Amino acid sequence: MPDTLTIPRPDDWHVHLRDGDMLRAVAPFTARRFARAIVMPNLAVPVTTTALASVYRARVIAAAGPDFTPLMTAYLTDTSDAADLIAGHRDGVLTAVKLYPANATTNSAAGVTDIARVMPVLAAMAEAGMPLLIHGEVTDADVDVFDREAVFIDRILAPLVARLPALRIVFEHVSTAEAVAFVTEGGPNIAATITPHHLHLSRNALFAGGLRPHHYCLPVLKREHHRRALVAAATSGSPKFFLGTDSAPHPVGDKEAACGCAGVWNAPFALESYAGAFDAAGALDRLEGFASRFGPAFYLLPVNAKMVTLTRATTPVPERIGDLVPFHAGEILAWRAT
Ligand code: DOR
Ligand code: ZN
């Protein structure tokens, strides 16, 4: 096994940077490692239009510094204006549209209540080549929370792909073997992101010695066989699977609470974390495609020219960074990025 690995600077194809003080606190961690990132639009006031994305982009650039390119998304609602979204894409403000089923996760109350309502918008996006990024979970109270992704595939995603095969789709933060199979067997217009926490942890981690709120995210961690399917997909060399951290900070008091928020803040050590997962699978040679090449290929963007080097070196992760608990808090990681 090599002790160093030099790869083109990666991008993060799914991140939550928030706004205000939190944005200023977290954006530098993403900008330190990633050249570009797909910025999620689920702010307290969702980023639903091209105009809102444009002003949010300016705030992100101010917080992250000049070496980082935020790629903006618009939050799809039942009443989204297709013409505005398509114009935003044409003019380079919007990279993609994000579909949250209403009430699926943090700040998703304004999300889509019925996919039928947004079919005209999705058809226009397919026509324009504008990607749709999907939080793939049904929200029905009678569906077990661990089954919500698999049920979403059957009820929503498979019919959508059949109806609009030209629509370019990223199935975000896949968490199940069913999602891996669906993406693997799909055509070239469907891809998926995989987070570091879903590669490292199964649902046992949520209850290891007591309730572990910092491992709670959505989609929730699944059984070990699903984790293994995700590792197999990420390390397969298939260009359909690429890096998306879903780094999602919440103040420690909102995580360690009677009703704790969903989200793992993994931005500070995300690349080291992915390297550890690939190393454990004996697949370090596959990290470059996953982290640096397959995302740009799907989004029709160039691979970054600058490089990053990963070295096998003990890297302690602090218990806290400010008001936030990072993924792997208190652990010593085996890789270091420079
Ligand atoms: O765990 C999550 N946190 N999953 C999501 O889908 C949203 C995110 C957040 O914004 O906190
Ligand atoms: Zn997310």
In CATH, what number is assigned to the domain containing residue 95?
3.20.20.140
Residues annotated catalytic, as ranges = 246
The verdict on residue 208 lying in a domain is yes
- Separation CA 267–CA 249 (nearest Å): 9
Neighbouring C-beta atoms of residue 108, cutoff 10 Å: 21
Whether ligand 1 lies within 6 angstroms of the CB of 73 is answered as no
- Best substitution site from 16, 173, 174 to test ligand 1's pocket, by max atoms within 8 Å of Cβ? 16
Residue in 106, 171, 195, 252 to alter for ligand 1 test, most ligand atoms within 8 A of Cβ: 106
Could you list the residue range(s) of the whole structural domain that residue 270 is in? 10-303
Q: Which residue has the tokens 């008091």?
A: 253
In the chain, the number of structural domains is 1
Tell whether ligand 1 has an atom less than 6 A from the beta carbon of residue 42: yes
% of the chain beyond a pLDDT of 70: 100
Q: How far is the CA of 264 from the centre of ligand 1 (A)?
A: 8
Q: Using pLDDT thresholds of 50, 70 and 90, give the confidence band for residue 1.
A: low
Averaged pLDDT, 264-274: 98
**How many Å lie between the centroid of ligand 1 and the Cα of residue 148?**
15
116: pLDDT confidence band, cut at 50, 70 and 90?
A: very high
Residue 326 placed within a domain:
no
Q: Whose CA is nearest to atom 4 of ligand 1?
A: 218
**Mean of all residue pLDDT scores within the chain:** 97
From the CA of 263, give the closest atom in ligand 1: 1
Q: pTM of the predicted model, to two decimals? A: 0.98
Q: Evaluate whether residue 335 is within a structural domain.
A: no
77 band by pLDDT with thresholds 50, 70 and 90: very high
- How large is the average pLDDT for residues 41-55? 98
Tell me the β-bridge partners of 38: 71
Least confident stretch, 104-118, 172-186, 259-273: 104-118
In a domain, 120, yes or no: yes
Q: Which residues contact 175 (CB under 8 A, 6 or more apart)?
A: 149, 198, 219, 220, 221, 222, 226, 230
Domain membership of residue 336 (yes or no) is no
Q: Are 20 and 61 in contact (CB under 8 A)?
A: no
pLDDT of residue 2 exceeding 90, the answer is no
Give me the amino acid identity at 150.
A
User: What pLDDT score does 121 carry?
Assistant: 98
Could you say which ligand is closest to the alpha carbon of residue 42?
Answer: 1
Q: Whose CA is nearest to atom 10 of ligand 1?
A: 106
User: Mean of the pLDDT values across residues 197-223?
Assistant: 98
Q: Does 195 reside within a domain?
A: yes
Confidence of residue 311 (pLDDT cuts 50, 70, 90): very high
- Residue 308 covered by a domain: no
On whether residue 293 sits in a domain, the answer given is: yes
- What backbone phi and psi angles, to 5 degrees, belong to 135? -85, 105
Predicted confidence (pLDDT) at residue 84 exceeds the cutoff of 70:
yes
Q: For residue 104, give the ligand 1 atom closest to its CA.
A: 6
263 within ligand 1 shell (Cβ under 6 A)? yes
If we measure between CA atoms, which residue out of 99, 44, 96 comes closest to residue 72?
96
Give the confidence band of 106 by pLDDT, cuts at 50, 70, 90: confident
First to last CA, the chain: 19
- Beta strand segments in the chain, E: 4-8, 12-15, 36-39, 69-75, 94-99, 132-134, 169-171, 190-194, 241-243, 307-316, 332-337
